[in-house]
Amino acid sequence: MSKKLISIVVPCYNEEPTLGILYEELNKVTAAMAEYDFEYVFINDGSKDKTLDILKEMAAKDGKVKYMSFSRNFGKEAALLAGLKNAKGDLVATMDADMQDPPALLPEMVAYVESGEYDNAATRRVSRKGEPIIRSFFARMFYRVMRRITDIEIMDGARDYRVMNRPMVDSIIALQEYNRFSKGIFSWVGFETKWIEFENVERSAGETKWSFWKLFRYSIEGMVSFSDAPINIASWLGLIMTGVSVIALLFLFLRALIFGDPVAGWPSLACIMTFIAGIQLFVMGMMGQYVSKTYMEVKNRPHYIVKDSNVEDTELIG
Ligand code: UDP
Ligand code: MG
Indicate which CATH number applies to the domain containing 85: 3.90.550.10
Strand order in the sheet with 91-94: 193-198, 120-125, 158-165, 91-94, 4-12, 36-44, 65-70, 306-309
Question: Are 206 and 241 within one domain?
Answer: no
For residues 196 and 245, membership in a common domain is answered with: no
Q: What share of the chain in percent tops pLDDT 70?
A: 99
The H or E element containing residue 4 is: strand 4-12
Q: Which residues surround ligand 2, an ion (CB under 5 A)?
A: 96, 98, 100
Distance CA 96, CA 182 (A): 13
Question: pTM for the full model?
Answer: 0.79
What is the mean pLDDT of the segment spanning 131-155? 83
Residues 45 and 167 in one domain: yes
Task: Identify the CA nearest to 36 among candidates 67, 5, 82, 69.
Answer: 5
Highest mean pLDDT among 159-163, 175-179, 227-231, 256-260: 159-163
Pairing state of beta strands 65-70 and 306-309? antiparallel
Assign 257 a pLDDT band (cuts: 50, 70, 90).
confident
Same domain for 274 and 125: no
Please tell me the distance from the alpha carbon of residue 273 to that of residue 138, in angstroms, as a whole number.
32
Using alpha carbons, select from 11, 13, 98 the residue that is nearest to residue 50: 13
Q: Tell me which residue has its CA closest to atom 8 in ligand 1.
A: 75
Q: Given this model, what pLDDT does residue 262 score?
A: 67
Ligand 1 site-directed mutation target among 13, 100, 123, most atoms within 8 Å of CB: 13
For position 281, what pLDDT does the model report? Answer: 82
Give pLDDT, residue 30: 93
CA of 183 to the centre of ligand 1 (A): 14
Please tell me the distance between residue 13's alpha carbon and the centre of ligand 1 in angstroms.
6
Taking 90 as the threshold, does the pLDDT of residue 131 lie above it?
no
Same domain, 80 and 196: yes
Mean pLDDT, range 82-98, rounded to an integer: 94
The residue whose CA is least distant from atom 12 of ligand 1 is 96
Q: Are residues 125 and 259 in the same domain?
A: no
Give me Rg for the CA atoms of the chain: 25
What residue's CA is closest to ligand 1, atom 13?
Answer: 96
Same domain, 257 and 181: no
Q: What is the pLDDT of residues 50-80, one digit of tens each?
A: 999 999 999 999 989 999 999 999 989 999 9
Q: What is the pLDDT of residue 263?
A: 66
List the domain range (segments joined by +) for residue 280.
Answer: 229-299
* In contact, 173 and 85? CB cutoff 8 Å: yes
Looking at residues 164-192, what average pLDDT do you find?
91
Query: 193 with 278, same domain?
Result: no
105 domain residue, yes or no: yes
Quote the CA–CA distance of 142 and 181 in Å, as a whole number: 14
How many domains does one find in the chain? 2
Residue 302 one-letter amino acid: P
Mean pLDDT, to the nearest integer, of 227-248? 82
- Calpha distance 263→195 (Å, rounded): 66
CA 307/CA 68 separation, integer angstroms: 8
Which atom of ligand 1 is closest in space to residue 100's alpha carbon? 23
pLDDT of residue 145: 86
Average pLDDT rounded to a whole number, residues 294-316:
86
pLDDT number for residue 56: 92
Q: How far is the CA of 9 from the centre of ligand 1 (A)?
A: 13
Which residues line ligand 1 at a C-beta cut-off of 6 Å?
Answer: 11-13, 15, 45, 73, 75-76, 79, 96-98, 100, 208-210
| pLDDT value of residue 121 | 94
Q: Whose CA is nearest to atom 21 of ligand 1?
A: 208
Regarding whether 157 and 81 lie in a shared domain, the answer is yes
Mean pLDDT of 255-276: 78
Rounded Cα gap, residues 19 and 287, in angstroms: 42
State the pLDDT at residue 209: 77
CA 52 to ligand 1 centroid distance, Å: 15
Q: What is the mean pLDDT of the chain?
A: 88
| Higher-pLDDT residue of 20, 296 | 20
Residue 236 shares a structural domain with residue 166: no
